[in-house]
Amino acid sequence: MDKRYYEPEYVRTLFDKMSASYERMNYITSFGFSIRWRKQLLQSLPNNVSQIQVIDLLTGMGENWNSIKHKYPNCQLTALDFSEKMLKHAHKTNDLKFKQRVRIKCADILNNDLPSEQYDIVTCSFGLKTFSKQQIISLATEVKRVLKKGGHFSFVEVSEPKNLLLRSAYSFYLGKIIPILGKLFLGDPTEYKMLWKYTSAFKNADDAAAIFSDAGLQVHKQSFFFGCATGFWGVK
């Protein structure tokens, strides 16, 4: 994969452009599974009804907020993303559904001013694929830095299934059909072609899990629907 596709400015612009159709397309690209995988992201994490600090990284439009608030009803939720246009939708959701109680932060996670040892829980859905290996190493360092000792984290990402039949069907769908739908929704399929490029370069969360483990975090891998999504959760 060409290095420039991982440059923050490139990724930010990509999501700014996709923001208008992201919600619909995200649902379609995962056959509706994205909603389920987001819920599963939280299942491995411990319940807690205290006033804990939770941060949802690469929060997009706030797709995880409902589930987080359901699991952690008294938490202070912080949500971070660097795409202003994705966050514009997040602000609307915050006004309409969350009484502006979510602290939304527009920042690059790899260049942020978050306080150290602040959060009990770190969550992140579908954000890993646009990071290079080097960036995932920095991400692991950041997650370790911002987590309290004993704090938990969970990540999930769309992945290339190992089963050949499923992989061929999935790659045809994401690589060929989705760009056509992208053209219908957006008039330009380029952004949605990139999704498959990132997913096939990312493959699955195994390498990222190993990187988080090398950073000194306790890591457990997880796989959903025959490897169409993979992730990991763990403890500092």
Among 83, 154, 204, 230, binds ligand SAM (CB under 6 A): 83
Q: How many CB atoms lie within 10 A of CB 33?
A: 16
Q: Which two tokens stand for residue 1?
A: 């994969």
> How far apart, in Å, are the Cα atoms of 55 and each of 21, 39, 104?
25, 16, 10
Among 7, 9, 95, 108, binds ligand SAM (CB under 6 A): 108
Contacts of 134 (CB under 8 A, 6+ apart): none
Q: How far is the CB of 165 from ligand SAM (least distance, A)?
A: 26
What are the start-end ranges of the E strands in 84-199? 103-106, 119-125, 147-158
59 touches ligand SAM by CB under 6 A? yes
Q: How far is CA 85 from the centre of its chain?
A: 16
Q: How far is the CB of 86 from ligand SAM (least distance, A)?
A: 4
Q: How many residues bind ligand SAM (CB under 6 A)?
A: 23
Q: Judged by CB under 6 A, which stretch of 54-62, 96-104, 142-150, 167-175 contacts ligand SAM?
A: 54-62
Q: How far is the CB of 223 from ligand SAM (least distance, A)?
A: 18
Q: Which two tokens stand for residue 181?
A: 């739908």
8 touches ligand SAM by CB under 6 A? yes
84 touches ligand SAM by CB under 6 A? no
Among 25, 26, 78, 204, binds ligand SAM (CB under 6 A): 26
198 touches ligand SAM by CB under 6 A? no
For the window 122-141, what string marks contact with ligand SAM as x by the rule CB under 6 A? ---xxx--x-----------
**Nearest Cα residue to 72 out of 142, 154, 146:** 154
Report CA dihedral (112, 78, 7, 22) to the nearest 10 degrees: -170
Residues in the chain, overall count: 236
Q: How many CB atoms lie within 10 A of CB 226?
A: 14
Considering the complex, state which of residue 94 and residue 149 has its C-beta at the smaller distance from ligand SAM: 94
Site residues (vs ligand SAM, CB under 6 A): 8, 11-12, 15, 26, 38, 58-60, 63-64, 80-83, 86, 108-110, 125-127, 130
